[in-house]
Amino acid sequence: MSELETRLLDRGPSAAAAPKTELPSHKWTMLIDLDKCTGCNACVVACHVENNVPIRSEREVIRGHGQHWIRIERYWEGEGEAQRATFLPMLCQQCSNAPCEPVCPVYASVHSERENLNLQVYNRCVGTRFCGNNCPYRARQFNWFAPQFEGPITEMLNPDVTVRSGGVMEKCTFCVQRIRRVEEDALVEGRPLRDGEMVPACAQTCPTSAIVFGDRSDPQSKVAQRLGGQREFQVLEHLGTAPNVYYLKAGGSDGGAG
């Protein structure tokens, strides 16, 4: 290597002296087993508490202004006696090829290649709501009014999460504040992340453990082990959004063809 090349490649003394803070990249993935989902909405409540999601009045929710980063979509199947409900927990699918990103005029909706996440920069958002329209899952929630937290709820706001202002878009972040915390813990302790260390609020709360979360790039992780089965599908896969939320079809004990 010539001297010039060495000098060009050398980032200088400051780069060498700085502590190595490069965080490893991940493929954060969520797996939701619809066979286990009972539609109890515990994940919705947990998400509200963890992420300071505004709680809207009944009247506002009826007007379509309810804000839930995760919701249980209920569909009815069959007729009469045989009719039964199926539940589809719907949250931001953290698309690898996200439709919300290119349409934002101010780059408030951006992609993190390292974490494989779709990020929303709240203080950059100007509220054109283009991203919300272009999300086929309608997973993005708009602050129709400035959020108000009344009474004791102000005492339990999560200090790790921004309280958003009115007129901005927000959505599920895969509990990015928790991801950050476990990553930094691991970095300080000088070890790789352990599988199961990172649990988002919804998965933590789910009474039937229908939600599994983990790093797909680690072949030993619980998520990676359970991927690739017959029951696996992605919602609106044909649109080419490449979501990072996988679902397992509900089908009872017959091996899950249903």
Phi-psi domain of 8 (left: phi exceeds 0; alpha: psi -120 through 50; beta: other) = alpha
Task: Among 42, 49, 112, 136, indicate the residue that binds other proteins (CB under 8 A).
Answer: 136
CA distance 232 to 229: 6
Q: Of these, 45, 103, 186, 227, which contacts other proteins (CB under 8 A)? A: 103
Among 86, 134, 217, 225, binds other proteins (CB under 8 A): 134
Site for other proteins in 32-71 (CB under 8 A): 60, 63-67
In the complex with other proteins, the residue whose CB is nearer, 24 or 166, is 166
- Closest to other proteins by CB, 118 vs 241, is 241
Q: How many Å apart are CA 47 and CA 72, to the nearest integer?
A: 12
Quote the strand ranges of the chain, DSSP E: 28-33, 70-77, 84-91, 109-112, 117-120, 141-142, 169-170, 211-215, 232-233, 245-248
- Taking CB under 8 A as the criterion, the residue among 85, 126, 157, 242 binding other proteins is 126
Cross-strand pairs, 14: none
Residue from 36, 39, 130, 232 that binds other proteins (CB under 8 A)?
130
Pairing, β 245-248 against β 28-33: parallel
Number of residues that bind other proteins (CB under 8 A): 46
Q: Does 167 bind other proteins (CB under 8 A)?
A: yes
Candidate residues 144, 177, 195, 249; the one interacting with other proteins per rule CB under 8 A? 144
Q: Per CB under 8 A, which region of 18-26, 30-38, 132-140, 171-179 contacts other proteins?
A: 132-140
Q: Which of 7, 38, 84, 145 binds other proteins (CB under 8 A)?
A: 145
Q: How far is the CB of 107 from other proteins (least distance, A)?
A: 5
Rule CB under 8 A: which of 173-232 touch other proteins? none
Query: Residues 6 or more apart from 3 whose CB is under 8 A from it?
Result: none
Please tell me the distance from the alpha carbon of residue 34 to that of residue 249, in angstroms, as a whole number: 6
Cβ contact 256:228 at 8 Å? no
Helix or strand holding residue 95 (H, E): none
What SS3 string covers 171-202?
A: CCCCCHHHHHHHHHHHHHHCCCCCCCCCCCHH
Question: Residues 85, 106, 157, 242: which binds other proteins (CB under 8 A)?
Answer: 106
Binding site for other proteins (CB under 8 A): 60, 63-67, 73-75, 88, 90, 99, 102-107, 124-130, 132-134, 136-138, 141-146, 165-169, 235-236, 239, 241
